[in-house]
Structure 1
Amino acid sequence: MRFLALPFLLLFSSLAAAAEPVTVYSYRQEFLIKPLLDTFTKQTGLETQVVFAKKGLEERLKREGKLTPADVVLTTDLSRLTTLVDMGLTQAVNSDVLSNNLPDAYRDPQGHWFALTTRVRNIYTSKARVGKVEIDYEDLASPELPGTICMRSGKHPYNIALVASIIAHHGEAQTKEWLTGVKANLARKPQGNDRAQVKAVSEGLCDYAIGNSYYFGKMLKDKNQKAWADAVFINFPNQNNRGAHVNVSGAVMTKYAKNPEGAKQLLEFLSGELAQQQYAEVNMEYPVNPKVAPSELVASWGQFKADAIPVYQLAQHYRSAVSLLDEVKFDL
């Protein structure tokens, strides 16, 4: 009986593991993620459980340690991906599917994180006062633009990544000069979110604003914000040289995932054509999977050249970027 019971127990254990849900901690919003996870469940039969949060997931994972229920973390930007890795909260994933679906520039070389969407850090200009222009990020520090620029906090992850890209191309000394010049050209103290900057341009508070591309699409589809978007042109910076800075959203498998096989299947699904198309249509982000085209609205803004520096290389400049922002007292 003992010999007969062992295979039965092994089979029971295997079935139980297969039925275990994939638990997701998500910085990405429910309206975007829930439909994706519902489709994943229909395709694979694997259920999911989700914790949505705006902040604090890294600290929660660290506090939970080996007892964490989380298998996957979905993040909104590269800085959070690299923070999870630096805190030792992730594990490498070896997957031919992920390697085939995602270009090298948008994957951690050690396999600890994977980008799922990209967004451009655009420069918006007033239609009435500036028009559509060819512009570089470097131009924002020009002494010819005093009091004309609006942007959110320099310490926001989106802007830290942009500053990191400037460091990657120009070094810390020139980047500090650039930050000093941009600060001198601000129309007001950094504040609000990306949409608030476009709103400020529409109200005549400034002529230039910095913001992520997908917010432009969201404003165009929002009856209460469409007038803001209609008041500006979206410009892709640095098209005559290195290309526009892009940031990413992405995902990791947690170090102590209880369902690593299910987590791997979810990551592979999110990198696939169906999920990538849904990202593109619902949130107006650029798919990372090169087989998937952007939404019709996003495509209408035109093609652009992206910065050739792999996004994972920007992470090494994040601490320097924050230090420089503090040195010039950018937000004060």
Structure 2
Amino acid sequence: MRQLAILPIVLAAATAALNAHAQDKVLNIYSARHYQTDEAMYDQFTKTTGIKINRVDADDAGIVARLKAEGSASPADVILLVDAARMATADAQGLFQPIKSAKLDAAIPAHLRADATKDGVTWTGFSTRARVIVYDPLRVKAADVATYEQLADPKLKGMVCTRSGSHPYNLSLFATVVERMGDAKGEAWLKGVVANMARAPKGGDTDQIKAVASGECGVALTNTYYAARLIKSADPQERAAMEKVRVVFPNQGTTGTHVNIAGAAVAKHAKNRENAIAFMEYLASPFAQEYFANGNHEFAAAKGVKIDNPALKAMGGDNFKAEQIPLGVVAKNLVKVQQMLDRVGFK
């Protein structure tokens, strides 16, 4: 009888062990990335580690909303978001946890990660994109748009087009410029950009490129991957639009071109923390970098990894000087810069 009494305890312990083992082989990812090339990257991780990936796809805002609603019950282990501003905002809302990894410290430059604390780093960039200037060569000289600062030059009055100033892509750039110029000069620069606008901000980066190609604008800002998509487009009209414009990687003679990131973080309430860290380290590997970056015509973030992308090369992206201001520092300027945008009327 005593043996029968012990049996349920033994079975319960065995079941718990099996559940723990099963949990060790699972990773739950919430992703704002939707690129078919990522599938090979996920498959290789599973083949190498035996860890099964479950993925939830949504946009950045949807993922953040879901994490907040789920709270400590969230199954999410790894969060993939686009843009340092979005990463920093989610981090400020307490949705990530810091991790320590010697492999990530060695592979990813410090300026492409959140500021390190004694507890570690909360988010890490795994690919980069440059925020470049496109211009109409029939109306504007390359020398007149060689820097971001020149976007406020009265010489470009009535020519500048952008998407919303509050969009994370612009907000991150503007926060970088303000960090470099200082508050007073930075706000004056934003005011000058507004004064030079051809029309009120609207649309996305692709719309800005097409507006320059059509003659509506003379100058615009875009992330490099939007231009690369048009270069590679199956639509002849989109390819023709890129043929009408030129691309400048700004500030090559000074501080370098602003770059932003697509990145990842371990979720605050990750149930499979060690698997999550292993996946983060995997993303920094040359194999994963190729898929993570090239899937969206981006550049690798890991040191020593080069992406062979003809579209990026065509616009001069195979060898440019990138700005080194830490994105973690830039993130601290976001609220302040948004207030500046409101004051100068940058919609």
Deviation at 1:30, TM superposition (A): 4.1
**CA shift at 1:105, angstroms?**
1.5
What SS does the aligned partner of 1:277 have? Answer: helix
Q: State the partner residue of 1:74.
A: 80
Q: How does 1:72-151 map to 2 (within 5 A)?
A: 72-108=78-114, 109=116, 110-133=120-143, 135-151=146-162
Cα deviation for residue 280 of structure 1 reads 3.4
* Aligned with residue 208 of structure 1, among 197, 216, 219: 219
Deviates most, 151-160 or 86-95: 86-95
Of the three residues 44, 51, 54, the one matched with 1:49 is 54
RMSD of Structure 2 on Structure 1 (CA)? 1.9
Q: Does 1:316 align with 2:332?
A: yes
Tell me, yes or no, if structure 1 residue 189 matches structure 2 residue 200: yes
Kindly indicate whether the alpha-carbon contact (under 8 Å) linking 1:123 and 1:211 is maintained by their aligned counterparts in 2.
yes
Residue in 1 aligned with 2:250?
237
Looking at structure 2, the residues matched to 167 and 201 of structure 1 have their Cα atoms a distance apart, in angstroms, of: 26
SS class of match (2:154): coil
Question: Aligned-pair distance for 1:38?
Answer: 2.3
Of all paired residues, the percent bearing the same amino acid is 35
Q: Aligned equivalents of 2:106 and 2:273: distance in 1?
A: 20
| Residue matched to 1:267 | 280
The Cα offsets for residues 258-279 of structure 1, whole Å up to 9 and x where unpaired, read as 1112211211111111010123
Q: After superposition, give the CA deviation of every residue in 1:264-307 in whole Å (9 maximum; x if it has no partner).
A: 12111111110101233322111001221022322441421111
TM-score normalised according to structure 1 size: 0.94
Aligned to 1:249: 262
- For residues 184-210 of structure 1, give each alpha carbon's deviation from its aligned partner in whole angstroms, at most 9, with x where no partner exists: 111111011111101001101111110
- Hey, what does 1:328 align to over in structure 2? 344
SS of 1:56's equivalent?
A: helix
User: Does 1:58 find its partner at 2:64?
Assistant: yes
- Bigger radius of gyration among the two: 2
Corresponding position: 1:29 with 2:34: yes
Q: Which amino acid is 2:71 matched to?
A: G
Q: Where do 5+ consecutive residues of structure 1 fail to align?
A: none
| Structure 2 residue ranges without an equivalent (≥5) | none
Q: TM-score, normalised by structure 2?
A: 0.90
Residues 1:287 and 2:300 aligned together:
yes
Name the aligned partner's letter for residue 84 of structure 1. Answer: A
Quick one: distance in 2 between partners of 1:308 and 1:243? 8
Shift of 1:91: 1.0
How many residue pairs are counted as aligned between the two chains?
330
User: 1:165 and 2:171 equivalent?
Assistant: no
Deviating more after overlay: 215-224 vs 8-17: 8-17
Instruction: State the Cα distance separating 1:81 from its structure 2 match.
Output: 1.0
CA distance, structure 1, for counterparts of residue 216 and residue 300 of structure 2: 33
Aligned equivalent of 1:306, options 307, 317, 322 = 322
Q: Please report how far the alpha carbon of residue 131 of structure 1 lies from its aligned counterpart in structure 2 after TM superposition.
A: 4.9
SS at match of 1:192: coil
Deviation at 1:222, TM superposition (A): 0.5
2: distance between equivalents of 1:65 and 1:281? 33
Tell whether the 8 Å contact from 1:280 to 1:295 is kept in structure 2 after alignment: no
Deviates more, 1:176-185 or 1:300-309: 300-309
Displacement of 1:106 in angstroms is 1.5
Cα shift at 1:47: 1.4
